[in-house]
Structure 1
Amino acid sequence: MKKRLMFLALAAIGLASCNGGFKKLGGGTEYSIADDKGGPSIKEGDFVSFNFSIKNDADSVMQSSYEKGFPQILNMPKVEAGKGNIMEVFTFLSEGDSVVIRQNIDSLVKGKPRPKQLKGKYIVYVIKVDKVIAKGNQTDAVFQTKSQEYVKGIEDKIKAREPIAIKKYIADKKLKVTTTPSGLNYEITKQGTGPLPAPGDSVSIYYTGTFVDGKGFDTNVKGNAVKLKLPINPMNPYKPMNFVPGAPGMIPGFGEAFKLFNKGTKVTLIIPSNLAYGEQGYQSVQPFTPLVFDIEVVDIIHPNPNAPKPVQLPPPVVNPAQQPVRK
């Protein structure tokens, strides 16, 4: 499905090129409507759901809602015409339309140093409008109910796919998992020794976090960061991370899992979204997204009653640089 949608996005670029080029908005922004369904145009206050991909001139996709599986949601703001604002293009679109927008990079940065990923002359956006709910004369209550029902429909479809994705991942990897009553799945690949963590103990781990599609989002193992093509964070010491299982702010799956493993254990965790970031998501983790962690428990540290309490580090999180456009 994702490959088909990305193909349509690329086809839209080609179609725009064949249909007479781009119209100019000003400020280095140009657009070409690749598919015009001819419906009512989007107006201020309307609910809009759309999918998008953002590319540079080197044909590299920098962001894509297709990869995340969740569309962008917005209420159409008031837009001043002729300023080159991308949102102005939406006022020319209707439900079902597709458009290619490109922005001149030099106009965007205005003489400042370019980010390395911005190569060539343009940033190119390919946008497909999936749904428009016109505000019109509807009361706020009625309008909000319709909008929320549409979003819930999307979320219900994504939620229904999650257990299927987890089951497929386990089958494809031929994992022999243990499943706890909460739904946490794990396979121990190397059994450790010694006692399990006691209340108040700290656990020291190496970790690598990926999605079920294999794309990585965080690790404290530098070699894995390189392998997964994650940005190398100069502030990351790439050393074991220490934390107390169940500490405030930790995802429930981590709080449960690290009471089960002793020193030296290597384990793969498959954490369902209800034990991770749930229906809200977090940064580049979309709603109803299961997470996979490959873990090595380096040590279990018993607290010294005479020592000051150690500073607790947060659990591994997604790199903010990978944060997508969110609803």
Structure 2
Amino acid sequence: MRKNLLLLLFVPLLVLSACFKDKSPDPKQTVLNEDGNIKIYLAAHPEISATKDTSGVYYQILNPGTGTHAGPNATVTIDYSGQLFSGVSIAGQTDYSNKLNTLLTGWQIGIPMIATGGQILLIVPSRLAYGVYGTSQVPPNSIVIFNITLKKIVQ
């Protein structure tokens, strides 16, 4: 009797669950929402005079640096710090070194804009940062602000 009762309760739930459509966000709408949120943030922070790249990354070159710029296969050494729009800091690092083409897409876009010794502020939409998965410190779908100093380039 209990098995029949459980079956009677379970089957309608199964049928009803099939009726609901996938509620995952529309990627185009996410891009528009994030861009709007970045514009609101910039309006509230007039000390930042960021420019929008065609990729959707906003950047402000604080110091252009001197010398050559990093190519996609270069190994770069950087100091960086990051924060969420809420002001919560995420882990930064000094003397972090890695191939440019393995870094966050937003970094791959921004770092080549400066030369050795240069400093850049990047406001990176979630799709070009940590995406839908986030990290232990960055919630999913978070826009992240990075301050990056390029210390060394090995082409």
TM-score, normalising length from structure 2? 0.78
1:161 to partner: Cα distance: 4.3
Counterpart position of 1:246: 101
* 8 Å CA contact retained: 2:81, 2:148: yes
Contact kept, 8 Å, 2:110 with 2:120, in 1: the verdict is: no
- Does residue 202 of structure 1 match 2:75? yes
Give the Cα separation in 2 of the matches to 1:144 and 1:278.
Answer: 28
| Number of equivalences | 144
Give me the whole-angstrom Cα distance separating, in 2, the residues matched to 1:219 and 1:284.
11
* Structure 2 residue 150 is the aligned partner of structure 1 residue 277: no
State the one-letter code of the partner of 1:146: F
Partner residue in 2 for 1:193: 66
2:44 corresponds to 1:172? yes
1:188–1:145 CA distance, 2 compared to 1 (3 A): farther
Question: Equivalent residues in 2 for 1:110-129 (5 A)?
Answer: none
Counterpart Cα distance in 2 of 1:283 and 1:147: 29
TM-score by length of 1: 0.40
Q: Aligned residue for 1:217? A: 90
- Higher RCO (C-alpha 8 Å, min separation 6): 2
8 Å Cα contact 1:165/1:212 also seen in 2? no
Q: Please point out which of 17, 21, 29 is paired with 1:143.
A: 17
Give the distance between the partners of 1:271 and 1:195, measured in 2 at CA.
24
Residue by residue over 1:148-200, the C-alpha shift from the partner in whole angstroms, topping out at 9 and shown as x without a partner, is 43xx3xx46x9364223211222222222122111111001112010111343
5+ long unaligned stretches in structure 1: 1-43, 45-133, 221-238, 303-327
Any unmatched runs of 5+ in structure 2?
Answer: 1-5
Which residue identity lines up with residue 98 of structure 2 in the other structure?
F
Higher Cα Rg: structure 1 or 2? 1
Letter in 2 for 1:170: L
Looking at secondary structure, tell me which structure has more helix per residue. 2
What percentage of aligned pairs have identical amino acids? Answer: 25
Moved over 6 A (4+): none
